[in-house]
Amino acid sequence: MDQAEAIHSVKNRLAQARSVAVLTGAGISADSGVPTFRGTDGLWRNFRAEDLATPEAFARDPRLVWEWYNWRREVIATKHPTPGHLALAEMETRHERFLLITQNVDGLHRAAGSRKLLELHGNIWMVRCTACGAVEENRDVPMVLLPSCRSCRGLLRPHIVWFGETLDEKRLDQCMGALASCEVLLIVGTSGAVYPAASFAPIAKAAGAFVAELNLDPTPQSQLVDVAIRGRAGQLIPQLL
Ligand code: BV8
Ligand code: ZN
């Protein structure tokens, strides 16, 4: 099946679908200029996300972890949603049931107008107090280090799910509900390396969904999906509308 036929087949499935789910990863924000995690531009000062985005790294050296997040906040603050983000915000208005699940913490889907949105790993513009648990939005670029809680002076951390941390039960249940009921699942711009998000395509497939992958490259999930479309998310998603 060539590219045009593949796009046509997914478009047809979407046109008839009452319930649609979408899972996005760093690839959809690559077109905005946000570095991906595992691409060549994804590394930061020779550190890997798996080494810095962990509670152990934060306990050992909160300043280093905050410096990494300050760098990412600075990068993301100047980025805008792509036609891919905007097309997904439009897509949610066309189906009775729709859920956009993103692994990205950059907030670009929210900025694009998506409302039926679940930020599985949190949001880089939200901070949480490690002492009293208070959560609030903070858009300081950079954060003055080390940031402390307004009400109890406790150390603030990014309100983001780090490696080794469990995901919010409610959020996960909402994902499982969408995966069990969707007729179409789009998997956009993710390498399928991180769990539990990496298990979403097989779960939806087992529940009878038509699964399409939109990615620049093949991934471990490519042979599992019904259709794999190669290309840039920013160009492909608008063609599905
Ligand atoms: C948990 C916040 C229970 C940080 C993130 C072994 C087996 C199973 C699980 C594990 C295991 N060992 C450890 C685990 C658990 C771990 C895990 O999965 N580790 C991996 C590395 C093996 N998972 C967890 O810890 C999760 N919690 O499971 O709790 C538990 C607890 C303890 C022990 C076990 C279980 C929590 C995971 C959440 C981690 N937090 N983000 C931050 O961002 O600051 S995940 C992080 O990676 C980002 O959010 C990112 O979104 C995510 C996944 O990366 P991708 O989005 O896929 O990005 P990537 O760069 O990899 O790929 C980009 C893709 O886009 C590529 O395919 C590329 O081809 C494509 N692309 C590029 N440009 C474009 C494009 N496509 C289209 N268009 C383009 N223009
Ligand atoms: Zn506090």
Q: For residue 1, what pLDDT is reported?
A: 77
Total residue count of the chain as it appears in this document: 241
In the chain the domains, ranked by start, together with CATH numbers, are 3-34+80-121+166-240 (3.40.50.1220), 39-77+131-160 (3.30.1600.10)
DSSP helix/strand/coil, 69: helix
Shortest-distance ligand to the CA of residue 154: 2
164: phi > 0 → left, psi -120 to 50 → alpha, else beta; which? Answer: left
Is the Cβ atom of 53 under 6 angstroms away from ligand 1? yes
167-226 per-position pLDDT tens digit: 999 999 999 999 999 999 999 999 999 999 999 999 999 999 999 999 999 999 999 999
The one-letter amino acid code at 150 reads R
Cβ atoms of residues 222 and 71 within 8 Å: no
pLDDT averaged per 10 residues in sequence order, the chain, 241 residues: 92 98 97 78 62 94 94 94 98 98 98 98 98 98 96 98 96 97 98 94 97 97 96 97 93
Compute the distance from residue 208 Cα to the ligand 2 centre, in Å.
45
Is 8 among the residues known to form the active site?
no
pLDDT of 43: 46
Q: How many angstroms separate the CA atoms of 187 and 212, rounded? A: 6
Alpha-carbon distance of 52 to 190, in angstroms, equals 20
The runs of H, that is alpha helices, within 61-143 are 62-77, 83-91, 108-111
Pairing of the two strands 122-129 and 135-137: antiparallel
Catalytic residue from among 85, 95, 121, 159: 121
Give residue 46's pLDDT.
59
Handedness of CA 237, 96, 18, 21 (dihedral sign): positive
Helix %, strand %, coil % for the chain, to 5? 40, 20, 40
